[in-house]
Amino acid sequence: MTHAWDAIAAEWLKLRTLRSNALLLACTLLAVLACAAVAYLIGRGFDTQTFEERLRFTGNGTGLGPGLPIAHFVLGTFGALTITSEYATGMIHTSLMAVPQRQLLLAAKIPGLAAVTLPAGQLLAFAMHLTAQSVLGERAGQILLDGQSLGIPLTDPGALTTLVAAGLSMTAAALAGLGVGATLRSTPGSLVALALLFVVLPVAVQALPAPLRAQVSAYTLAALPEEIAGTGGLLPPPAAAALLAAYPLLALTAGATAIALKRHKAAVLAAGAALTLATGLIALPATEAAPARHLAWHPCTTPGLPREMRCADLRVPLDWNHPTGRTITIPLAMLPASGTQRRIGTVISIPGGPGASGIDDLTQYQGRLDPLRRRFDVISFAPRNAVTPGGPLPHECLTTGPYLPLPRNRAEYAALARTNRAHAERCRAADPELFDHMDSASVARDIDALRAALGEPRVNLLANSYGGHPAAAYARLFPSRIRALVMDGTTSHTEDTATGEPRLYQRAERQLDRFAAWCRTDPSCALHGRDVKQVWRHLVERADRTPIPVRGDPDGTAYTGFDVKVAAAPSFTSPGREPDRPRWVQLADAIAKAADGDASGFAAYVRQATDRPKVPSPVGQNMTRCLDGGGYTGYAAYRAALAKARELSPHFAGQRAWWALACAGWPAPVTNPPAPLPGHALPPVLGVGTWTDHDEVATTIRHVPGSSTIRYDGHGHMAYLNSSSGCVTAHVNRYLTTLRLPPPGTVCPATG
Amino acid sequence: MIDVQDLTIRYGRTRAVDHLTFTVKPGLVTGFLGPNGAGKSTTMRAILGLHTPAAGQALIDGRPYTALRRPLHTMGALLDAAAVHGGRTARAHLTWLARSNHIPLRRVEEVLDEAGLHQTADRRIATYSLGMRQRLGIAAALLGDPQALMFDEPLNGLDVEGIRWIRDLLRRLADQGRTVLLSSHLMNELALTADHVIVIAGGRLIADTPVDALAARFHRDVLVRAAHPDRLAEVLRAHGATVTPGPGELSVHGLAPQTIGELALTAQIALRELTPRTATLEEAFLELTDDHPQEARR
């Protein structure tokens, strides 16, 4: 093969001895300039925007986007000219006289082109990246809604691979250009073809509607580097790599066929086609198999659900200890991945309550999930314990329950237990077996059945509020099946009820401080100008001595101090929409009115929510909470907790007991007691919490190494789904897509 | 030795070369003649494997050009002096050619010297005159020191000095025993250079002959001016000549000039002019090719 070396060496000399080639390569600087210009424009726009608007920017990725088509075109031209200039001058005859083996002549150009474009491509890719990043400067670190940063630094996973692949794509462009040039034998013709392929096509594709646009542009040369790195686009890395090879292979096959003597054309074409096919076949098995789908997803028929939502049913054993026994149906809903980028997997949103339906969450917060859906299917479900009409257990019965007093002695405690049991039994009677399997661990096993039905080896869990309980149960049962776990405003299920109470009292006291501070500054507070804490203390003490009547109530309902605390607690926690804070206005009115001897302010809003003048303890929640160990272990534990509360919380002592007391006398045993998370078996977890629920979340995940929390610097609950904070969205999506956690102590500003 | 055997080349339905057979022998300068469009360049390209023949073949030392592994060592050719990239220097052009056939680089200097391009070897070819490009093309053909050489219209654009150089070069190459084929559409160009001519027209062979024989074949008459033309005509006719009288002159066929002179002396007729009129090669060539009108190629 020594004469092949001679041909290669000769082509290298040809390449080297043309000054125009150096000039052409210098034109690739245009690509760097384009990257710089786009980065500059992004940066300028960025500087004029607010914090929240900045989060909504479209990322600049590794910064290559604007320059790649230009670089591909220039290098494609470089490749094409190595042969079209020979046709234009007639030198092709001289070349063929020197090397009459036509395929050899064409192939001999490849090493030279590669030798120039491999280093040049790398240099160019890194220059484009570094230029774009330095023009963006510090702004590059800004995290965006989809979890990417405005500019992706080299240290990001996949960034280096993207750049290296981008460099390689320039060699592919040059070789494809050579093939096109050999096929068309004309410089202008090749320029047009290459411009169409590398510049016009990627731009024209942008005019297509969304999913189609992504599907088509996934195959453009400029999209391949990110796809090879697995950081963008639709194609899986092996397919993208194969396509990168197929571009020059196809073009060179065409070129080799065109240059071949007539009698050789068929053989050359067949060889090239076989080679291209082989490349595809190598990529095919490496391509990830689509997850097996055992679920029959269909458009949802329930009115009021989003059009793109898909529904399905999952059958699970009622009792996971008897998996072959009776089954129940869990309704599922999916907001499918938008198909604009390669799907990473499934995020399962676990609803709170207990008793809420995740299908409602998906419906209500659909818009917030759009950035996430670029990479994930988002699925939720109406869990077995969802309190929805039409279930086997009577809905009316579940939504209400007994009024709970604060027992002053063992006899009163026993009486409370009897009342609780009576209410529970009323609901339980319809389906005792089901009623006794409402614990969060059973929900967790249902979630794993969903995972299995989806064919996903690992899941991404988004636990909301009480969804923290099933999430914790899942983490204890199947830690290795969790890819990512977001705990957003989740309740803690890692310690028993009494242990957790002090923290919750501190939270209530802090919230009262905030309420008082608001009253001092806002005249719409009925207590404006008064010592709020003193008013509250006097009100509670007075009501404990003599219950405050609800004026106009036919049943003669009256509020004890405990009742006032229970009725006020949710309103303290949730002021309502900024800046009006309607629930705090309402609460201040109710306090002021009660201080004047009329509890009807409380009764009015309680009645709105529960249809009762005082807050009943809903059986539908308790049927899960009590099995999850939400009660006290007995009267003594209750007394101890209350004594401790009186030390810690001058304004709310006893209020937390309302939750635990509901489980006294419960007819079913605790089956899912609190326990720590198996820290070392779990991947790092991301916690999200507002003023009121950050500490709970942090407590839950503190034993999982590498975990981090985002503190949303404001009121509210379930900040990811519920607040308009793009900052929270961005950090959570970043974690879910890249598994990268925000640094500890990350705070997201309140958005109102 | 270049062997063209029954070569036929079609452009679409047109036969550019039509069952052409000839051999170019070593040690001679062979002219390849034909009017424009006769198929000379097409034939030469086919010899170099640049055209696929519809039938027949062209062999260099018994092998098709495309089967030669380092063909420049076997055959050098100049087809088109413009078929170079103007962006390279002459030296760069010759260097890549040399590299492609594993020719030692000293040959580049040697052929640059031979072609008189040493002074300008590092100038971009775009700045070259047509004559300089011809010299470069010839230098390229000589690069591999081949036994066979082929030049398509090498004299185009050359000045007198250049033409003399080529003639000397070709003669020298032939004298070294090499096979030399050069094409032209002008017989005059070849008259002083070629030993042998192959004439084609319309893609067909018309003549394949030594130059001398061609000239002899078209030897025409002797012009005679004499004091007594009528008497001389009688004498010459009596000795078997065909005499055509003209105004004050005779055109004599069939007798050599010295015979005419001796007869005139014997008859004591004073001769004023005795000129053998040989057809020029050009006239011979035109005469030959006139018999083969263009439609022959259709």
Instruction: Give the tens place of pLDDT for each residue, B189-218.
Output: 777 788 999 988 888 888 898 887 776 666
Contact status of A24 with chain B (Cβ, < 8 Å): no
**Sign of the CA dihedral with A285 first, then A286, A287, and A288 last:** positive
Q: What tens digit of pLDDT does each residue of A428-455 get?
A: 998 999 999 999 999 999 999 999 999 8
The C-alpha atoms of residue A628 and residue A439 are separated, in whole angstroms, by 6
What type of residue sits at position A465?
Answer: S
CB–CB of A20 and B87 under 8 A? yes
Q: How far is A14 from chain B (nearest CA, A)?
A: 6
Of the candidates A380, A323, A317, the one whose C-alpha atom is nearest the C-alpha of residue A353 is A380
What per-residue confidence (pLDDT) applies to B253?
A: 82
Beta strands in A554-609 (DSSP E): 558-559
The C-alpha atoms of residue B80 and residue B95 are separated, in whole angstroms, by 19
Residues A216-224: contacts with CB under 8 Å, at least 24 apart: A219/A243, A221/A68, A221/A72, A221/A169, A221/A172, A221/A173, A221/A176, A221/A197, A221/A247, A222/A65, A222/A68, A222/A69, A222/A72, A222/A169, A222/A198, A224/A165, A224/A169
In this complex, the residue of A18, A19, A97 whose CB is nearest that of residue B71 is A97
Contact status of A19 with chain B (Cβ, < 8 Å): yes
Q: Judging by DSSP bridges, how do beta strands A459-464 and A345-350 pair with one another?
A: parallel
- Residue ranges of A 236-275 with Cβ closer than 8 A to chain B: 261-263
- Are residues B274 and B257 in contact, defined by beta-carbon separation less than 8 angstroms? yes
- Are residues A479 and A367 in contact, defined by beta-carbon separation less than 8 angstroms? no
What per-residue confidence (pLDDT) applies to A35?
A: 92
- Percent of chain B topping pLDDT 70: 91
Tokens 């001389």 belong to residue: B232
Average the pLDDT over A155-179 and give the result: 94
pLDDT band at B281 (very low <50, low <70, confident <90, very high): low
What per-residue confidence (pLDDT) applies to B298?
A: 35
Please report which helix (H) or strand (E) contains residue B56, including its range: strand B55-60
What per-residue confidence (pLDDT) applies to A77?
A: 95
The C-alpha atoms of residue A747 and residue B205 are separated, in whole angstroms, by 95
Question: Would you tell me how many other CB atoms lie within 10 Å of the CB of residue B5?
Answer: 15
Q: How far is A100 from chain B (nearest CA, A)?
A: 5
CB–CB of A18 and B68 under 8 A? no
Residue A157: C-alpha distances to residues A148, A162, A248 (Å): 11, 9, 28
The C-alpha atoms of residue A652 and residue A378 are separated, in whole angstroms, by 39
DSSP A488-529: ESPPP-SS-HHHHHHHHHHHHHHHHHHHHHHHHH-TTSTTTT
What is the signed CA dihedral for A219, A221, A225, A230, rounded to 10 degrees?
Answer: 0
Q: Judging by DSSP bridges, how do beta strands A298-299 and A310-317 pair with one another?
A: antiparallel
Please state the φ and ψ torsions of residue A345, each to the nearest 5 degrees: 170, -145
- Are residues A677 and A494 in contact, defined by beta-carbon separation less than 8 angstroms? yes
CB–CB of B88 and A9 under 8 A? no
Q: How far is B50 from chain A (nearest CA, A)?
A: 7
The C-alpha atoms of residue A581 and residue B176 are separated, in whole angstroms, by 110
Q: Is the peptide bond before A579 cis (omega within 30 degrees of 0)?
A: yes
Number of H helices, E strands in chain B: 10, 13
What per-residue confidence (pLDDT) applies to B297?
A: 38
The C-alpha atoms of residue A341 and residue A158 are separated, in whole angstroms, by 15
CB–CB of B79 and A6 under 8 A? no
Average pLDDT over chain B reads: 86
The C-alpha atoms of residue A289 and residue A422 are separated, in whole angstroms, by 54
Please state the φ and ψ torsions of residue A72, each to the nearest 5 degrees: -65, -40
Average the pLDDT over A658-673 and give the result: 92
In this complex, the residue of A17, A85, A100 whose CB is nearest that of residue B96 is A17
What per-residue confidence (pLDDT) applies to B96?
A: 94
Of the candidates B199, B257, B204, the one whose C-alpha atom is nearest the C-alpha of residue B226 is B257
Instruction: Report which of residues B282 and A650 the model is more confident about.
Output: A650
Q: How far is B137 from chain A (nearest CA, A)?
A: 10
CB–CB of A6 and B71 under 8 A? no
Q: CA A683, A687, A688: angle at the middle one, nearest 5?
A: 155
What per-residue confidence (pLDDT) applies to A1?
A: 45
Lowest mean pLDDT of A317-321, A358-362, B258-262, name the range. B258-262
Instruction: Report which of residues A288 and A468 the model is more confident about.
Output: A468
pLDDT band at A291 (very low <50, low <70, confident <90, very high): low
Q: Judging by DSSP bridges, how do beta strands A327-335 and A376-381 pair with one another?
A: antiparallel
**Sign of the CA dihedral with A319 first, then A324, A328, and A333 last:** positive
What per-residue confidence (pLDDT) applies to A752?
A: 57
Average the pLDDT over A627-648 and give the result: 91
| Nearest residue on chain A to B75, alpha-carbon basis | A97
CB–CB of B80 and A7 under 8 A? no
Please, what's the b/e burial string for A265-301 (b: 16 or more CB within 10 A of its CB; e: otherwise)? eeebbeebeebbeebeeebeeeeeeeeeeebebeebe
In this complex, the residue of A2, A89, A263 whose CB is nearest that of residue B85 is A89
**Sign of the CA dihedral with A599 first, then A600, A605, and A606 last:** positive
**Sign of the CA dihedral with B248 first, then B253, B259, and B263 last:** negative
Contact status of A185 with chain B (Cβ, < 8 Å): no
Q: How far is B73 from chain A (nearest CA, A)?
A: 10
What type of residue sits at position A622?
Answer: N
Q: Indicate which of A5, A97, A104 best probes the interface with B, i.e. most B CBs within 10 Å of its own CB.
A: A97
- Tokens for B209, please give them: 């002959």
- Are residues A103 and A267 in contact, defined by beta-carbon separation less than 8 angstroms? no
- Are residues A309 and A381 in contact, defined by beta-carbon separation less than 8 angstroms? no
The C-alpha atoms of residue A103 and residue A252 are separated, in whole angstroms, by 10
B130-142 helix and B106-114 helix, angle to the nearest 10 degrees: 140
Q: Indicate which of A23, A24, A93, A94 best probes the interface with B, i.e. most B CBs within 10 Å of its own CB.
A: A94
What per-residue confidence (pLDDT) applies to B294?
A: 46
Please state the φ and ψ torsions of residue A331, each to the nearest 5 degrees: -70, 135
Q: What tens digit of pLDDT does each residue of B77-95 get?
A: 999 888 889 999 999 999 9
CB–CB of A3 and B86 under 8 A? no
Contact status of A680 with chain B (Cβ, < 8 Å): no
Bridge partners, B225 (sequence order): B273
The C-alpha atoms of residue A454 and residue A375 are separated, in whole angstroms, by 16
According to DSSP, residue A725 is labeled -
Whether ipTM tops 0.90, in short, is no
In this complex, the residue of B68, B86, B96 whose CB is nearest that of residue A13 is B96
What per-residue confidence (pLDDT) applies to A451?
A: 93
Q: How far is A103 from chain B (nearest CA, A)?
A: 12
Q: Which residues of A touch B85 (CB under 8 A)?
A: 14, 18, 85-86, 89, 91
Average the pLDDT over B254-281 and give the result: 82
The C-alpha atoms of residue A510 and residue A514 are separated, in whole angstroms, by 6
Say yes or no to pLDDT of B295 above 50. Answer: no
CB–CB of A89 and B99 under 8 A? no
What per-residue confidence (pLDDT) applies to A170?
A: 95
Q: CA A383, A386, A390: angle at the middle one, nearest 5?
A: 115
Q: What tens digit of pLDDT does each residue of B112-155 get?
A: 999 999 999 999 999 999 889 999 999 999 999 999 999 998 88
Q: How far is B79 from chain A (nearest CA, A)?
A: 8
Q: Which residues of B touch A103 (CB under 8 A)?
A: none
In this complex, the residue of B68, B82, B86 whose CB is nearest that of residue A100 is B68
* pTM exceeding 0.90: no
CB–CB of B140 and A91 under 8 A? no
Contact status of A6 with chain B (Cβ, < 8 Å): yes
pLDDT band at A293 (very low <50, low <70, confident <90, very high): low
According to DSSP, residue B143 is labeled T
CB–CB of B66 and A262 under 8 A? no
Q: Which residues of B touch A107 (CB under 8 A)?
A: none
Q: What tens digit of pLDDT does each residue of A566-622 get?
A: 999 989 988 888 788 899 999 999 998 888 888 888 888 888 888 888 999 999 999
Q: CA B109, B112, B114: angle at the middle one, nearest 5?
A: 110
- 10 Å CB burial of residue B254 (0-12, 13-18, 19+) is middle
- Are residues B100 and A10 in contact, defined by beta-carbon separation less than 8 angstroms? yes
Q: Which residues on chain B place their C-beta less than 8 Å from a C-beta of chain A?
A: 45, 48-50, 52, 65-66, 68-72, 77, 79-80, 82-89, 92-93, 95-97, 99-102, 140
What per-residue confidence (pLDDT) applies to A69?
A: 93
Bridge partners, A315 (sequence order): A329
Q: Which residues of B touch A95 (CB under 8 A)?
A: 100
Please enumerate in sequence order all residues whose Cβ is within 8 A of that of B21, keeping only pairs 6 or more positions apart, or say none: B4, B5, B6, B7, B56, B205
Say yes or no to pLDDT of A287 above 80. Answer: no
Instruction: Report which of residues B233 and B285 the model is more confident about.
Output: B233
The C-alpha atoms of residue B293 and residue A305 are separated, in whole angstroms, by 88
DSSP B201-264: ETTEEEEEEEHHHHHHHTEEEEEEEESSHHHHHHHHHHTT-EEEEETTEEEEESS-HHHHHHHH
What per-residue confidence (pLDDT) applies to A391?
A: 80
Say yes or no to pLDDT of A276 above 90. Answer: no
